[in-house]
Amino acid sequence: MPKVAEKEGKYVYRVKKHGEMKTDAVILSDWETIDEEAIQQIINVATLPGIVKEAYAMPDIHWGYGFPIGGVAAFDVEDGIISPGGVGFDINCGVRMLVVDGPASIVKGRLDELVKRIYELVPVGVGETSDLKFSKKDFKRIVTGGAKVVVEMGYGQPEDLERIEDYGSIEYCDFSDVSDEAYDRGKDELGTLGAGNHFIEIQEVVEVYDPEIAKVFGVAPGSITVLIHTGSRGFGHQIATDYIRYMRDELKEHNKGLPDKQLINAPFKHSLGQAYYSAMNCAANYAFANRQIITHMIRKAFKSVCGLNVKLVYDVAHNIAKVEEYQIDGKTTKVIVHRKGATRAFGPGNPKLPALFRETGQPVIIPGSMGTASYLLVGTKKAEEWTFGSTAHGAGRTLGRREATRELSADRIINELKEKGVKLMAKSKKGIVEEAPEAYKNVDKVVQIVDELGISRKVAKCVPLGVIKG
């Protein structure tokens, strides 16, 4: 543990404000697998203009571009900033959980055929494009209207929308803030999975911790679930790239003296800050629509192979900045909350939640690494009061992709998954090695920490049956 951090309680460590820091930094962790680079990054975040309360690191914290992945920070909308590095290149990289309406025995009996059919219907891999073609007019409608628009086009059902964060559509966005390069990269990738840590996973619910909430969410012991983990593809990546460049070129004086040049930012009220916010929301809407189209393809696969219907449980965003209100120093304050590899975790009674989840709190999905468990949780009032309504987003890396490629064997990983009874279809052996379980923290421990801290509570645990990767 770095000397600068002081233990404040179980899983709670504090770096007190010092030097250029404007707030304390709070790390929620057991310290077993944290690298000091990531801790320095959350300390750097605490130096940024307009930051309020504290900068937070979730238990899945690891090094990222600018902000650590697992970093949460809020900035006053009047005198604070917005930073592409506080959102990430894969804007609204998120997770969606589906549940199959039918017996697990049917799915397990046809698992090989099912995995193959999904692999055929959903293009996977780096730069992979879709057979779906949208006109520029329709593309503009999609990125400014999100999942709602593709549901209207036939990719889903209207009732899906209340089971998506923000109903799958963020209104503050303008297509004129998106570059031609971003459009060119994104226009053929809707309905594709991508590569890296993105996946589709067929799972079985093996434990339920809160039967009443699980029932509201639509899952039970033995339920078959499907996780979709993907984001805004090249479209979001280009938007991040564009605005990092714009901020470097046009706001040199404002960004002078940053502790890390990757923390490039714009004042939120500045025209460039507002343009990035608008373009970022276009990418977020793209990601919601992307996961909705993939859901449609997965439904087709289950119907054709198993004769079963598939329902949406919930869809959460990970890499995003949102304007929200919190009580800070006794007054209601409007802030722009950056969640970089962190999940929104609103508690019961939050007016932003649909009536369906108003009594339970918001569903939270924390996936594990390939071949390990994933969890369905629920948000809490404590998260709203403490961490700007935020919790962890996954297991969190311990090995970089290059390290994993050097140290691990694809054949061994494939054999280990086979021994566990997990069916794997992947585009490349390199992708398998980069996403091996050994490259990640123990998701069970990450979930234990957030559950014990009370920033989200366990509802159900799922284990993998079949995995599709780029």
* 412 CB neighbour count, 10 Å cutoff: 13
Strands, E assignment, 166-270:
199-208, 224-230, 266-267
Residue 103 is assigned to a ligand binding site: no
Nearest 5 degrees, angle CA 71-CA 203-CA 399? 40
Angle between helix 111-121 and helix 271-306 axes, rounded to 10 deg = 140
pLDDT at 407: 66
pLDDT at 421: 81
Nearest 5 degrees, angle CA 268-CA 272-CA 273? 20
Residue 39 is assigned to a ligand binding site: no
Sign of CA pseudo-dihedral 212, 311, 159, 193: positive
How many alpha carbons fall within 13 Å on the CB side of residue 399? 18
Residue 369 is assigned to a ligand binding site: yes
Three-state secondary structure readout of 128-188: CCCCCCCCHHHHHHHHHHCHHHHHHCCCCCHHHHHHEHHHHCCCCCCHHHCCHHHHHHHCC
Contact 333, 52 (CB under 8 A): yes
Q: 367-382 in b/e burial notation, b at 16+ Cβ within 10 A?
A: bbbbbbbbbbbbbbeb
pLDDT at 458: 98
Residue 254 is assigned to a ligand binding site: no
Residue 367 is assigned to a ligand binding site: yes
Residue 229 is assigned to a ligand binding site: yes
Residue 146 is assigned to a ligand binding site: no
Ordered by where they begin, the domains of the chain are: 5-469 (3.90.1860.10)
Contact 23, 51 (CB under 8 A): yes
* 428 CB neighbour count, 10 Å cutoff: 15
* 260 CB neighbour count, 10 Å cutoff: 15
Contact 264, 124 (CB under 8 A): no
**Maximum pairwise Cα distance, the chain:** 63
pLDDT at 348: 98
Please tell me the distance from the alpha carbon of residue 282 to that of residue 146, in angstroms, as a whole number. 8
Please tell me the distance from the alpha carbon of residue 292 to that of residue 191, in angstroms, as a whole number. 8
pLDDT at 428: 74
**Residues of the chain scoring pLDDT < 70:** 1-3, 33, 397, 399-401, 403-408, 437-439
pLDDT at 82: 98
Nearest 5 degrees, angle CA 179-CA 185-CA 188? 125
**Residues belonging to the active site:** 393
Condensed to tens digits (0 to 9), the pLDDT of residues 286-310 reads: 999 999 999 999 999 999 999 999 9
Residue 218 is assigned to a ligand binding site: no
Please tell me the distance from the alpha carbon of residue 391 to that of residue 281, in angstroms, as a whole number. 21
Amino acid, res. 21 = M
Residue 296 is assigned to a ligand binding site: no
